[in-house]
Structure 1
């Protein structure tokens, strides 16, 4: 490691960065920290700021570390095949902007799963919110785990800090700057963190070009002439995990469920005054995200080219390629920016996830609203607001502890590439959400209240939503044997959602769709 980038120096960088985040938190939440600000920033967020911040939340540690490493690692997402997924993202973002955002704003939702209550009923509402909590807890824990592993190897372990302390410290820091301001703070801090991540990648590319003694056009030529430049994969057929059609369709579906049906990502969109601003945010965000992913893929190709040129032995895990070169082989400025980028990657996904988990549980399971007031007296109103703040703080703290527990479990069982584990987990847990929303948007049916299994009566919707992920998991495990070598890969998400949709239709009956009475506020 560079002499100027000792573990203590890196800890100093993290401390300064954290101090900036705490300052932002203080400035954004000093006047008020009520539910309206915590949940949706009073619905006054500027769309341009949200668009920039959402890029960081979408990239996270997975893109920052795993995508560059996957470029030359073989298997799924090799070379530039990940751009096929990114192209699918654009289709998904168009669906969100044109279909989902107008719907959410027309209903004036705080939690997007309130739509399921209005359209299908209370069971759909609760199971939808439950699957979000499960999905986001798993996904955010994977992302934070990846970053914690890197920080542990290069910072904490050399000075004798245990992995559990590293993880607990990271989560505590996130809790400290989010527990008051919530989404109002997150929108500003995510913008800062997006800039840090992109700046780190860009400066790394600049210094690698210098080390290779080439300019921009020379870099482009090096990448084109390398083994890492292939974008489109058609020749391998459906058994190829990098097949264009599999990757493109998977990208579109991943975007719809992990952005459009995800409270974490949509909470930022719902914090704007109207859906027109939200649509402008989605347009700019999707364009910037394409170029951001292309930057990280170029970085990955250049990292492998640089390693080959200097005779560097590749690390056992492709996830460690970028940190190894940035912290050991390149000038200290690259290491400093890498540290800022990796910390930003950790916080940009985990902080908004923690806020969204808190929001969903408070709204969907505790029944809190943006404005909890008692009409009788000012004193009564103040008491109720203090009680809701206290409950919200307890929920926020509870999810912080849960994230820590899940990350520690991953540390014990981790044996696969993080990015593949993340999306496979998302395929199983987001599938029922995809099926539920598809049923609500595409049909006019109503689901039967119960089905009889032997002598036991079970709510039909819950039965379908619990069985679909299990069946999907079994089919995915045996797909190569059953389907002549075909493997679902990311498409397991589509299969899972289809199973849920077909199951709901099968257990439905003709008649007017029904749900709980729900009256939102029209913010269109």
Structure 2
């Protein structure tokens, strides 16, 4: 498909988003609007919009690509998704009531009130680092597709493509913040969901399959195995590892993450926030089934038409992340190509715009205290927020360039590997705060515990086969990380008569 057509489509898409941004922030663009949308968001808009934020371009490209990976992944990712669903339910019933009861703007304010100043700053710092890395990984995925299929044709260097993408995102988020994001994410999720179903239709049409035949084709494709129970010690795909990892990765990366929780906190009541989470969970599970089915059909289509997995320009090795864009943009008709680009753009930018807003909110609230005092919405504080927003955009730009220089594996693996190390200490901190009573914490030592825990996890993961009788970790490593942090916090605490209730 012509790069000029794709570029024109991309620019038109962002023009729509920018128009929406100015329309939603016309009446007010103060900090209260940016941080929590004045706490009057509609739960059904947030529930639908969160789908785009949670799925991202990783789900759109990497998950289908991983179905036919040489390691034999098939539908094993759905084991992880089932764990995700349980994690979402725990968030709705345990964490959301706590956040609403305390009327939080930043969820890390809970740590300040429960554990102390240094614990609070540590938790907020973990989020800033984790979300910056995770969002950069996600944006990187769409940028390499844009680079390969659009900007290479114009001789635009990779760094410029990254900068252009971030500048476009900044242009429609800097003013209205969360109030704008809730509307734009709803629109982008609509495009994402539409593109999934249209992509399935176009692939099935190319393979001359109706719906029952498509179902049978996926079932008999050799890619549809969901549950893996073989070799518990050495198999990272084992059901228990994927399911347990899915539960705790979700609790950490959603429930203890300012990004997705910020949307939940923008609603008027806890009942609305819980309705949002329950609805979101159901849609999330169903959509992942369709993404995996797309993956199976892509590999069936590739085998039928002699299409090999594309090679990475940097490493020269096969890159499953590129199979979906390769087929959609080079082997199907113009309309399927546009549909694919629509879904990819919507998925990835819905994640990145939300992350930039959450990063800005956390830094402004947790480190600059812009939610306190009479000057919260003053011109000076709004200008500070704008500067922070720009700085995080530039930081993400640098992280993407670093990742591009060293990455040689599927992005979906990279994100959850990093999450196991960076989000683990948050699990330990919140577990200690929620479940340990009558113990006073040596607050100044908490940052050292939260650095030591990921370091020990890294070493344990590196030598697990030798130390644990052949056992290899997968995403469940995040639970071990949280447990080590929890034990470390117990060791630096002592009994006290003080009663703490939250």
- Interval of TM-score (by shorter of Structure 1 and Structure 2): over 0.9
Q: What's the CA shift for 1:448? A: 3.9
2:434 aligns with 441
SS of the equivalent of 1:237 reads: coil
CA contact (8 A) 2:440 2:496 kept: no
Match of 2:43 among 29, 38, 47: 47
Q: What's the CA shift for 1:512? A: 4.4
Q: What's the CA shift for 1:75? A: 2.8
Quick one: structure 1 residues 514 and 60, their matched pair in 2 at CA, closer, same or farther if it must change by over 3 Å?
farther
Counterpart-to-counterpart distance in 2, 1:129 and 1:464: 15
Match of 1:408 among 372, 380, 401: 401
2:314 aligns with none
1:315-348 CA distance string (max 9 Å, x none): 2200000000000111110100111111112211
1:147-191 CA distance string (max 9 Å, x none): 111110111011111101100000000111000000000011111
Unaligned runs of 5+ in 1: 375-380, 451-458, 519-524
Quick one: structure 1 residues 16 and 429, their matched pair in 2 at CA, closer, same or farther if it must change by over 3 Å?
same
Quick one: structure 1 residues 512 and 8, their matched pair in 2 at CA, closer, same or farther if it must change by over 3 Å?
farther
CA contact (8 A) 2:131 2:355 kept: yes
Quick one: structure 1 residues 148 and 447, their matched pair in 2 at CA, closer, same or farther if it must change by over 3 Å?
farther
CA contact (8 A) 1:119 1:513 kept: no
1:14 aligns with 10
1:37-66 CA distance string (max 9 Å, x none): 100000000000000110001100110000
CA contact (8 A) 2:118 2:447 kept: yes
Deviates more, 1:307-316 or 1:39-48: 307-316
1:428 aligns with 421
Match of 2:331 among 329, 332, 337: 329
Q: What's the CA shift for 1:237? A: 1.7
Counterpart-to-counterpart distance in 2, 1:401 and 1:176: 14
1:501 aligns with 486
Matches within 5 A, 1:85-484: 85-315=80-310, 316-369=318-371, 372-373=373-374, 385-449=378-442, 459-484=444-469
Q: What's the CA shift for 1:74? A: 3.7
1:455 aligns with none
2:315 aligns with none
Counterpart-to-counterpart distance in 2, 1:32 and 1:290: 36
Unaligned runs of 5+ in 2: 311-317
Counterpart-to-counterpart distance in 2, 1:490 and 1:19: 39
TM-score by length of 2: 0.96
Counterpart-to-counterpart distance in 2, 1:448 and 1:211: 62
Q: What's the CA shift for 1:481? A: 2.2
SS of the equivalent of 1:467 reads: helix
SS of the equivalent of 2:219 reads: helix
CA contact (8 A) 2:442 2:492 kept: no
Q: What's the CA shift for 1:203? A: 1.1
Counterpart-to-counterpart distance in 2, 1:197 and 1:413: 29
Counterpart-to-counterpart distance in 1, 2:46 and 2:69: 34
TM-score by length of 1: 0.92
CA contact (8 A) 2:237 2:474 kept: no
Quick one: structure 1 residues 141 and 250, their matched pair in 2 at CA, closer, same or farther if it must change by over 3 Å?
same
Quick one: structure 1 residues 367 and 256, their matched pair in 2 at CA, closer, same or farther if it must change by over 3 Å?
same
Q: What's the CA shift for 1:236? A: 2.6
CA contact (8 A) 2:66 2:74 kept: yes
Quick one: structure 1 residues 467 and 513, their matched pair in 2 at CA, closer, same or farther if it must change by over 3 Å?
farther
Q: What's the CA shift for 1:513? A: 5.5
Counterpart-to-counterpart distance in 2, 1:53 and 1:124: 32
Counterpart-to-counterpart distance in 2, 1:153 and 1:90: 35
The structure 1 segments of at least 4 consecutive aligned residues displaced by more than 6 Å after TM superposition are none
